[in-house]
Each structure stands twice: as C-alpha cells, then as structure tokens.
Structure 1
Amino acid sequence: MKQIKTLLIAAVIFLSGNQAINAQSKTAHVDVSEIMSKMPAMLEAQKQLEKLSGTYDTEYKGMVEEYQNKLKKYEQEASTVTEAVNDTRSKEVQDMQKRIVDYRDNAQKELQQKESEIVKPIMEKVKVSIAKVGKAKGFQYVLNSEGLLLADGPNLTADVKKDLGF
C-alpha cells in the first residue's frame, strides 16, 4: 500500500512537472524591430520616405531663404519708403511666414500619412508570417522580445525572416 502511495505521488509530480514544461514550450518570442529594419520592403519604403522628405526639405528651405531675403531687403529700405509701402511689405512678410508654417505642418502630416500607408501593409505581412511560423511550430503565444525583460524561450526571428524570404 505504501508503494502504491509513493508511486502515485511520483506520478503526480512527474505529470505536473511535464505540464509546466509543455506550458513553457508553447510561448516563444520574436524581435519585430530586427525583422522590420532588415526587411527589403521596409528598406525600400525608407528610401521612398527619405526621398519625399528631401523634396519637402528643399522646398521648405527655399521658402525660408526667400523670406529671409525679402525681410532683409525690406528692413534696409524701410527708412526710404513710405509708411503705406512698409505696411504692405509687413503684411506680405506675415503672409509669407504663415505660408511657410502651413507648408511645414502640411508636409509633416503628408509624410506621416505616407509612412503609415507604406508601413502598414509591411507590418501586416510580418504579423501574418509570425502567426504562420508560430502555429507551424506549435506555439500558442509569440511575444515581441523588444519589451521582454527575460526572453529565454525559443526565438522565432530567424524563422520569420526565412518565411518572409530574407
């Protein structure tokens, strides 16, 4: 009777230990930042965004330079022209300031919108790949290792990269 009790206790300990191991093996992690930063589609998207940003920067700098030149000219001529001309010039400079600020704000909005349009489908593709690889390997949970304090379980980053073709 004592042997059966000992055997039963040993079996319970073995089974509960085996369950804990199975629960741990159903969780893996992946480094989404690494995947995104090295993904060819993302690298191409970054080039597009840098080109667009460069275009906006060039136009913005041109507008600012024109504004500064006019302001300098108007300040030099302020004492030699009539007050009506100075008032007109003052309004023109204020309008230019407003156009520059509006252009900068619109350019930032358009750049953010374009980034969202380009990155969203790439991110969706990565999510689908992570789910596919995770399920194929029998994991119930795949966590982003970026925020984990301890990532001691299986790392699926290489498998996801392979699935995505790079």
Structure 2
Amino acid sequence: MKLKITFILALFFIGFSNAQTKVGTVDSELIISKMPQMKGVLQRVENYGKKLDSSFQIKATEYKAKVDSFKAEEKLMTEDDKKARFQELRTLEQEMGKFRQNGATMMQVQRDQSLRPLYKKLSEVIAEVAKANGYTQILTTNGNQFGYIDERFDITQLVLDKLGIKE
C-alpha cells in the first residue's frame, strides 16, 4: 500500500513539475528604439509633420492677413460689417484649432502605422526566441507592472542578438 501511495505521489510531482510555466520578460521599447529601421520611421514621421506644419502656416498667414485687414478697416465699417468680419475671424480661429487637433491625431496615426511593421517583426522574433528557450510566457517590462523581475529570464538581449542589433 505504501508503495502504491509513493508511486502515485511521485507521478503527481512529476506531472506538476512538467506543468510549470517558464515566464520571461522583454523590454520591447528598448529593442524597437535600437532597430535600424527606427531611423526611417522617425524620418517619415518628421517629414509628415513638416507637411502638416506648412499647411498650418498657410492658414495662420491667411488668418493674420484677415486680422490686419480688419484692424485697418475697422473704423470705417458699419456695425453689421464688423459683426460679419468678426464672425469670419472667429470661424477661422476655430478651423485652425480643429486643424491643430487633427494634426496631432494624424501624427499619432502616421507614427503608429510606421511602427506597425517593426512591432510585427519584433513579435515574430520574440516568439522564436521564446520557443527556442522553452518559455511559455513573455511579459513586457514597460510600465510599472512588476514588483520584481528576475533578470535571468529577461530575453531582451537574446532578441537584440537575433535581430543583429548591437548595444
């Protein structure tokens, strides 16, 4: 009977030890920032930003010209003309505000679209490294998600090596 219980307990502990997971961590933002393609992404986003800025400058110049014109002609205008011109200026201000907001959103969309291929490649390499090293889970270290991380399980360097990136 003792032999049967010992055998069952041994099987239980063997099964339990095999079922354990191996969890690793990776600093994905560090890797993305070191990828050689990142320079191209930053350049594309910067160029896109310059295009948006030039469009905004055109609107700002037009607005300034209308404000100067209003100030110069204000004394000669009737009250109705003043109200109409003032409303036109207010509308231009609102358009410029919307353009500024949309520009920030469009910049973020452009950045996200440009980074998507890098994150896809990184994800594939992380999966390869994790499988090759027997990890069952890889967590990112970005943010304040962990109270403790054992550096022995951080695969950041392995992923950098696999991508051929030198620190």
Fold shared per TM-score above 0.5:
yes
Residue 81 (structure 1) aligned with residue 80 (structure 2): no
Query: What's the TM-score once normalised by structure 1's chain length?
Result: 0.75
> How many residue pairs get matched?
154
Amino acid at match of 2:96: I
Structure 1 gaps, min length 5: 1-7
Please give the residue correspondences for 1:8-157 in structure 2 after superposition, counting only pairs within 5 Å: 19=17, 23=20, 26-146=22-142, 147-152=145-150, 153-157=152-156
**Residues 47 and 148 of structure 1, relative CA distance in 2, 3 Å threshold:** farther
Q: Tell me the equivalent position of 1:163.
A: 162
Instruction: Tell me the SS of whatever aligns to 1:28.
Output: strand
Instruction: Tell me the SS of whatever aligns to 2:75.
Output: coil
Query: What's the TM-score once normalised by structure 2's chain length?
Result: 0.74
Taking every aligned residue pair, what percent have the same amino acid on both sides?
24
**Residues 149 and 58 of structure 1, relative CA distance in 2, 3 Å threshold:** farther
Instruction: Tell me the SS of whatever aligns to 1:29.
Output: strand
Q: Tell me the equivalent position of 2:3.
A: none
**Offset at residue 86 of structure 1 (A):** 2.2
Structure 2 gaps, min length 5: 1-5
Instruction: Tell me the SS of whatever aligns to 1:42.
Output: helix
Give the RMSD, CA atoms, in angstroms: 2.9
Instruction: Tell me the SS of whatever aligns to 1:79.
Output: helix
Amino acid at match of 2:134: G
Q: Which runs of 4+ in 1 moved over 4 A?
A: none
